[in-house]
A and B are shown apart, each in its own frame.
Chain A
Amino acid sequence: MVTIIDAGREVEVPARLEGERVLLSPEALRDALGWEVHDGTLCNDAMCVPLPEGSSLAAGGPLDLTEVAAVLDRPLALDPAESAAFLGAAAGERAAALASLQAPDFTLPDLAGRPHTLAEHRGKKVLLVAWASW
Protein backbone atom coordinates (compact mmCIF):
# COMPACT_ATOMS: atom_id res chain seq x y z
CA MET A 1 0.00 0.00 0.00
CA VAL A 2 1.11 3.53 -0.74
CA THR A 3 -0.19 6.60 1.08
CA ILE A 4 -1.03 9.46 -1.27
CA ILE A 5 -1.77 12.88 0.18
CA ASP A 6 -3.93 14.55 -2.43
CA ALA A 7 -4.98 18.15 -1.77
CA GLY A 8 -4.64 17.53 1.96
CA ARG A 9 -6.68 14.33 1.81
CA GLU A 10 -4.84 11.17 2.77
CA VAL A 11 -5.65 7.96 0.90
CA GLU A 12 -4.22 4.46 1.13
CA VAL A 13 -3.80 3.06 -2.36
CA PRO A 14 -2.97 -0.49 -3.44
CA ALA A 15 0.09 0.14 -5.58
CA ARG A 16 3.36 -1.45 -6.60
CA LEU A 17 6.69 0.29 -6.12
CA GLU A 18 9.32 -0.13 -8.83
CA GLY A 19 12.37 1.92 -7.98
CA GLU A 20 11.20 5.53 -8.10
CA ARG A 21 7.91 4.58 -9.73
CA VAL A 22 4.52 4.07 -8.10
CA LEU A 23 2.36 1.86 -10.32
CA LEU A 24 -1.40 1.75 -9.83
CA SER A 25 -4.13 -0.25 -11.49
CA PRO A 26 -6.74 1.86 -13.30
CA GLU A 27 -9.24 0.86 -10.59
CA ALA A 28 -6.90 1.96 -7.79
CA LEU A 29 -6.35 5.34 -9.47
CA ARG A 30 -10.09 5.82 -9.92
CA ASP A 31 -10.99 4.79 -6.37
CA ALA A 32 -8.19 6.72 -4.68
CA LEU A 33 -7.91 9.91 -6.72
CA GLY A 34 -11.00 9.97 -8.91
CA TRP A 35 -9.14 9.92 -12.26
CA GLU A 36 -9.78 7.54 -15.15
CA VAL A 37 -8.14 7.08 -18.55
CA HIS A 38 -10.63 7.26 -21.46
CA ASP A 39 -9.72 7.41 -25.16
CA GLY A 40 -6.48 9.29 -24.78
CA THR A 41 -7.67 11.56 -21.98
CA LEU A 42 -7.45 11.54 -18.20
CA CYS A 43 -10.81 12.49 -16.64
CA ASN A 44 -12.47 13.06 -13.29
CA ASP A 45 -16.08 14.22 -12.69
CA ALA A 46 -15.13 17.82 -13.41
CA MET A 47 -12.72 17.77 -16.34
CA CYS A 48 -10.70 15.84 -18.93
CA VAL A 49 -7.04 16.40 -19.74
CA PRO A 50 -5.60 15.07 -23.02
CA LEU A 51 -2.70 12.63 -22.69
CA PRO A 52 0.46 13.59 -24.55
CA GLU A 53 1.46 11.64 -27.65
CA GLY A 54 2.91 8.24 -26.73
CA SER A 55 1.96 8.50 -23.04
CA SER A 56 2.36 5.20 -21.20
CA LEU A 57 -0.96 5.96 -19.49
CA ALA A 58 -2.73 5.10 -22.75
CA ALA A 59 -0.99 1.71 -23.03
CA GLY A 60 -3.56 -0.13 -20.91
CA GLY A 61 -1.19 -1.47 -18.24
CA PRO A 62 -0.48 -0.21 -14.73
CA LEU A 63 -0.45 3.60 -14.40
CA ASP A 64 2.65 5.49 -13.29
CA LEU A 65 1.70 8.06 -10.65
CA THR A 66 4.54 10.36 -11.75
CA GLU A 67 3.06 10.45 -15.25
CA VAL A 68 -0.42 11.08 -13.89
CA ALA A 69 0.94 14.06 -11.93
CA ALA A 70 2.83 15.32 -15.01
CA VAL A 71 -0.30 15.15 -17.19
CA LEU A 72 -2.23 17.08 -14.53
CA ASP A 73 0.69 19.54 -14.27
CA ARG A 74 0.78 18.91 -10.52
CA PRO A 75 3.93 18.56 -8.41
CA LEU A 76 4.53 15.13 -6.91
CA ALA A 77 6.85 14.56 -3.98
CA LEU A 78 7.65 10.91 -3.55
CA ASP A 79 9.39 8.84 -0.90
CA PRO A 80 9.52 5.22 -2.11
CA ALA A 81 11.21 4.00 1.08
CA GLU A 82 8.29 5.35 3.13
CA SER A 83 5.67 4.38 0.54
CA ALA A 84 4.36 7.93 0.65
CA ALA A 85 3.57 10.53 -1.98
CA PHE A 86 2.25 14.08 -1.84
CA LEU A 87 0.36 15.58 -4.78
CA GLY A 88 0.56 19.36 -4.61
CA ALA A 89 -1.29 22.13 -6.39
CA ALA A 90 -0.45 23.05 -9.99
CA ALA A 91 1.52 26.27 -10.36
CA GLY A 92 -0.73 27.30 -13.26
CA GLU A 93 -3.86 26.91 -11.16
CA ARG A 94 -2.42 28.87 -8.24
CA ALA A 95 -1.02 31.59 -10.51
CA ALA A 96 -4.31 32.01 -12.39
CA ALA A 97 -6.25 32.26 -9.13
CA LEU A 98 -3.92 34.94 -7.74
CA ALA A 99 -3.79 36.90 -11.00
CA SER A 100 -7.61 37.01 -11.02
CA LEU A 101 -7.25 39.07 -7.79
CA GLN A 102 -10.14 37.13 -6.24
CA ALA A 103 -8.70 36.29 -2.82
CA PRO A 104 -8.43 32.49 -2.49
CA ASP A 105 -10.74 31.21 0.23
CA PHE A 106 -9.48 28.92 2.99
CA THR A 107 -10.74 27.09 6.05
CA LEU A 108 -8.39 27.03 9.04
CA PRO A 109 -8.89 26.37 12.75
CA ASP A 110 -8.35 28.70 15.69
CA LEU A 111 -6.70 27.59 18.95
CA ALA A 112 -9.95 25.95 20.05
CA GLY A 113 -10.08 23.96 16.81
CA ARG A 114 -13.05 25.96 15.49
CA PRO A 115 -12.92 26.37 11.70
CA HIS A 116 -12.95 29.85 10.10
CA THR A 117 -13.12 30.89 6.46
CA LEU A 118 -12.14 34.06 4.66
CA ALA A 119 -15.46 34.06 2.79
CA GLU A 120 -17.49 34.47 6.00
CA HIS A 121 -16.08 38.03 6.24
CA ARG A 122 -17.42 39.10 2.85
CA GLY A 123 -18.79 42.65 3.21
CA LYS A 124 -15.87 43.74 5.40
CA LYS A 125 -12.39 44.92 4.63
CA VAL A 126 -9.95 42.22 5.70
CA LEU A 127 -6.32 42.49 6.70
CA LEU A 128 -4.89 39.03 6.29
CA VAL A 129 -1.69 38.63 8.32
CA ALA A 130 0.56 35.58 8.03
CA TRP A 131 2.97 35.36 10.96
CA ALA A 132 4.82 32.68 12.91
CA SER A 133 6.51 32.18 16.25
CA TRP A 134 9.78 31.40 14.39
Chain B
Amino acid sequence: MWQALYEELKPRGFVVITVALDRSAEDARPWIEKAAPTHPALIDPRHTLADLYNMVNVPTVVWVDERGRIVRPNDVAFGTDTFRHITGLESARPLAALRAWVHGETAGVPPARARALQTLPTARDQQARAEFGLAEWLARRGRSEAAERHFVRAGELAPHDFTIRRGSMPIRGLDPMGPKFREMRDAWVGAGHPYYRPLPDDHG
Protein backbone atom coordinates (compact mmCIF):
# COMPACT_ATOMS: atom_id res chain seq x y z
CA MET B 1 0.00 0.00 0.00
CA TRP B 2 2.75 2.52 0.88
CA GLN B 3 4.42 1.45 -2.36
CA ALA B 4 1.31 2.33 -4.41
CA LEU B 5 1.07 5.68 -2.66
CA TYR B 6 4.75 6.34 -3.30
CA GLU B 7 4.38 5.56 -7.03
CA GLU B 8 1.29 7.78 -7.22
CA LEU B 9 2.86 10.79 -5.50
CA LYS B 10 6.51 10.43 -6.51
CA PRO B 11 6.18 12.89 -9.43
CA ARG B 12 5.15 15.53 -6.88
CA GLY B 13 8.51 15.33 -5.10
CA PHE B 14 7.46 12.81 -2.49
CA VAL B 15 9.12 9.80 -0.93
CA VAL B 16 8.06 7.15 1.57
CA ILE B 17 10.61 5.75 4.00
CA THR B 18 9.46 2.71 5.90
CA VAL B 19 11.37 1.58 8.98
CA ALA B 20 10.80 -1.86 10.50
CA LEU B 21 11.17 -1.94 14.30
CA ASP B 22 11.90 -5.64 14.05
CA ARG B 23 14.50 -7.72 15.82
CA SER B 24 16.22 -8.59 12.54
CA ALA B 25 16.12 -8.09 8.80
CA GLU B 26 14.90 -11.68 8.57
CA ASP B 27 11.71 -10.92 10.51
CA ALA B 28 10.88 -8.02 8.21
CA ARG B 29 12.10 -9.55 4.96
CA PRO B 30 8.97 -11.54 3.91
CA TRP B 31 6.79 -8.43 4.30
CA ILE B 32 9.21 -6.19 2.45
CA GLU B 33 9.73 -8.69 -0.37
CA LYS B 34 5.98 -9.04 -0.80
CA ALA B 35 5.51 -5.27 -0.96
CA ALA B 36 8.46 -4.99 -3.40
CA PRO B 37 9.05 -1.33 -2.51
CA THR B 38 11.02 1.03 -4.74
CA HIS B 39 11.24 3.49 -1.84
CA PRO B 40 13.72 3.00 1.01
CA ALA B 41 12.55 0.16 3.29
CA LEU B 42 14.84 0.15 6.31
CA ILE B 43 15.48 -2.14 9.27
CA ASP B 44 15.91 -0.87 12.83
CA PRO B 45 16.43 -3.70 15.35
CA ARG B 46 17.84 -1.32 17.97
CA HIS B 47 14.83 1.02 17.77
CA THR B 48 16.93 4.04 16.84
CA LEU B 49 13.90 5.69 15.25
CA ALA B 50 11.66 5.08 18.28
CA ASP B 51 14.34 6.70 20.47
CA LEU B 52 14.80 9.74 18.20
CA TYR B 53 11.07 10.35 17.62
CA ASN B 54 9.64 9.06 20.91
CA MET B 55 7.57 6.46 19.08
CA VAL B 56 5.68 4.06 21.37
CA ASN B 57 3.77 1.85 18.95
CA VAL B 58 3.44 0.94 15.30
CA PRO B 59 2.31 2.02 12.85
CA THR B 60 3.53 5.56 13.52
CA VAL B 61 3.84 8.09 10.72
CA VAL B 62 5.51 11.50 10.60
CA TRP B 63 5.34 14.06 7.80
CA VAL B 64 8.64 15.81 7.05
CA ASP B 65 8.70 18.70 4.59
CA GLU B 66 11.28 19.70 1.95
CA ARG B 67 13.36 21.54 4.56
CA GLY B 68 13.45 18.60 6.93
CA ARG B 69 10.83 20.10 9.25
CA ILE B 70 8.24 17.97 11.04
CA VAL B 71 4.91 19.26 9.74
CA ARG B 72 2.77 16.56 11.29
CA PRO B 73 4.08 14.84 14.40
CA ASN B 74 3.71 11.17 15.35
CA ASP B 75 0.33 9.89 14.23
CA VAL B 76 -1.25 6.52 13.65
CA ALA B 77 -2.00 5.75 10.03
CA PHE B 78 -2.72 2.49 8.32
CA GLY B 79 -2.08 2.16 4.60
CA THR B 80 -5.10 -0.11 4.22
CA ASP B 81 -8.25 -1.10 6.08
CA THR B 82 -7.06 -4.71 6.50
CA PHE B 83 -6.89 -4.38 10.29
CA ARG B 84 -9.76 -1.93 10.69
CA HIS B 85 -11.94 -4.50 12.43
CA ILE B 86 -9.24 -4.79 15.11
CA THR B 87 -7.95 -1.24 15.32
CA GLY B 88 -11.17 0.70 14.73
CA LEU B 89 -9.08 3.13 12.64
CA GLU B 90 -9.85 3.83 9.02
CA SER B 91 -7.20 4.63 6.45
CA ALA B 92 -9.15 6.89 4.07
CA ARG B 93 -9.12 10.18 5.96
CA PRO B 94 -5.40 10.24 6.85
CA LEU B 95 -4.56 9.29 3.26
CA ALA B 96 -6.74 12.10 1.88
CA ALA B 97 -4.95 14.52 4.21
CA LEU B 98 -1.58 13.22 3.07
CA ARG B 99 -2.48 13.61 -0.63
CA ALA B 100 -3.69 17.16 -0.03
CA TRP B 101 -0.37 18.03 1.64
CA VAL B 102 1.76 16.47 -1.09
CA HIS B 103 -0.34 18.26 -3.75
CA GLY B 104 0.36 21.54 -1.95
CA GLU B 105 -3.29 22.14 -1.06
CA THR B 106 -2.48 22.22 2.66
CA ALA B 107 0.67 23.09 4.58
CA GLY B 108 0.47 20.45 7.28
CA VAL B 109 0.05 21.32 10.93
CA PRO B 110 1.23 24.83 11.97
CA PRO B 111 4.32 24.74 14.24
CA ALA B 112 2.61 25.85 17.45
CA ARG B 113 -0.11 23.27 17.00
CA ALA B 114 2.42 20.60 16.01
CA ARG B 115 4.30 21.23 19.27
CA ALA B 116 1.08 21.03 21.24
CA LEU B 117 0.32 17.67 19.63
CA GLN B 118 3.75 16.20 20.37
CA THR B 119 4.41 13.95 23.33
CA LEU B 120 8.00 14.53 24.46
CA PRO B 121 10.02 11.81 26.17
CA THR B 122 10.51 11.88 29.95
CA ALA B 123 13.58 10.70 31.87
CA ARG B 124 11.59 7.56 32.71
CA ASP B 125 10.85 6.90 29.03
CA GLN B 126 14.55 7.21 28.24
CA GLN B 127 15.49 4.95 31.15
CA ALA B 128 13.09 2.38 29.68
CA ARG B 129 14.81 2.73 26.30
CA ALA B 130 18.22 2.24 27.91
CA GLU B 131 16.92 -0.92 29.63
CA PHE B 132 15.57 -2.11 26.27
CA GLY B 133 18.91 -1.30 24.62
CA LEU B 134 20.82 -3.33 27.19
CA ALA B 135 18.32 -6.20 26.94
CA GLU B 136 18.51 -6.25 23.15
CA TRP B 137 22.32 -6.27 23.32
CA LEU B 138 22.32 -9.13 25.86
CA ALA B 139 19.77 -11.12 23.85
CA ARG B 140 21.92 -10.86 20.72
CA ARG B 141 24.73 -12.46 22.72
CA GLY B 142 22.50 -15.32 23.80
CA ARG B 143 22.20 -14.00 27.38
CA SER B 144 18.45 -14.58 27.45
CA GLU B 145 17.96 -14.68 31.21
CA ALA B 146 19.85 -11.46 31.78
CA ALA B 147 18.07 -9.88 28.81
CA GLU B 148 14.70 -10.82 30.27
CA ARG B 149 15.40 -8.84 33.47
CA HIS B 150 15.92 -5.70 31.46
CA PHE B 151 13.04 -6.26 29.03
CA VAL B 152 10.77 -6.59 32.08
CA ARG B 153 12.20 -3.48 33.73
CA ALA B 154 11.83 -1.52 30.48
CA GLY B 155 8.17 -2.52 30.23
CA GLU B 156 7.52 -1.56 33.86
CA LEU B 157 9.10 1.85 33.34
CA ALA B 158 7.14 2.53 30.15
CA PRO B 159 3.92 0.48 30.20
CA HIS B 160 2.55 2.62 27.35
CA ASP B 161 5.46 1.76 25.07
CA PHE B 162 4.47 -1.17 22.89
CA THR B 163 7.61 -0.93 20.75
CA ILE B 164 9.18 -2.22 23.97
CA ARG B 165 6.47 -4.44 25.44
CA ARG B 166 5.21 -6.01 22.23
CA GLY B 167 8.30 -5.39 20.11
CA SER B 168 10.42 -7.43 22.54
CA MET B 169 8.09 -10.43 22.44
CA PRO B 170 9.65 -12.15 19.38
CA ILE B 171 13.12 -11.76 20.93
CA ARG B 172 11.84 -13.31 24.19
CA GLY B 173 10.23 -16.29 22.49
CA LEU B 174 6.70 -14.94 23.02
CA ASP B 175 4.06 -14.76 20.32
CA PRO B 176 3.35 -11.04 19.65
CA MET B 177 -0.10 -11.96 18.30
CA GLY B 178 -0.82 -14.56 20.98
CA PRO B 179 -2.60 -14.70 24.34
CA LYS B 180 0.26 -12.97 26.20
CA PHE B 181 -0.07 -9.98 23.92
CA ARG B 182 -3.88 -9.88 24.14
CA GLU B 183 -3.70 -10.09 27.92
CA MET B 184 -1.25 -7.18 28.00
CA ARG B 185 -3.31 -5.06 25.62
CA ASP B 186 -6.60 -5.82 27.36
CA ALA B 187 -5.14 -4.92 30.76
CA TRP B 188 -3.84 -1.62 29.34
CA VAL B 189 -7.05 -0.73 27.55
CA GLY B 190 -9.12 -1.97 30.51
CA ALA B 191 -7.27 0.50 32.75
CA GLY B 192 -8.60 3.27 30.51
CA HIS B 193 -5.55 3.84 28.29
CA PRO B 194 -5.59 3.92 24.49
CA TYR B 195 -3.63 1.26 22.58
CA TYR B 196 -3.38 3.52 19.52
CA ARG B 197 -3.04 7.27 19.87
CA PRO B 198 -4.08 8.94 16.62
CA LEU B 199 -3.94 12.74 16.42
CA PRO B 200 -7.30 14.48 16.68
CA ASP B 201 -9.20 14.66 13.39
CA ASP B 202 -9.10 18.43 12.92
CA HIS B 203 -5.64 18.52 11.32
CA GLY B 204 -4.60 18.59 7.84
Contact = CB atoms under 8 A, between A and B. Distances in A.
Contacts of A103: 62, 64, 68-70
A110 interface: yes
Nearest to A97: B52
B49 A108 contact: yes
Given A10-B137, A88-B129, A134-B169, 5 more contacts: A89-B126, A94-B51, A108-B48, A122-B66, A127-B63
A41 to B, nearest CB: 22
Interface of B: 2, 5, 12-22, 25, 27-33, 40-44, 46, 48-55, 58-71, 73, 77, 79, 98, 101-102, 111, 114-115, 118, 120-123, 125-127, 129-131, 133-135, 137-138, 143, 146, 149-150, 153, 163, 166-167, 169-170, 176-177
6 contacts: A79-B146, A79-B149, A98-B70, A106-B52, A108-B48, A130-B19
B137 A129 contact: no
Interface stretch (A22-30, A43-51, A55-63, A113-121): A113-121
Nearest to A99: B115
B66 A130 contact: no
A101 B134 CA distance: 29
Contacts of A110: 40-43
B133 A77 contact: yes
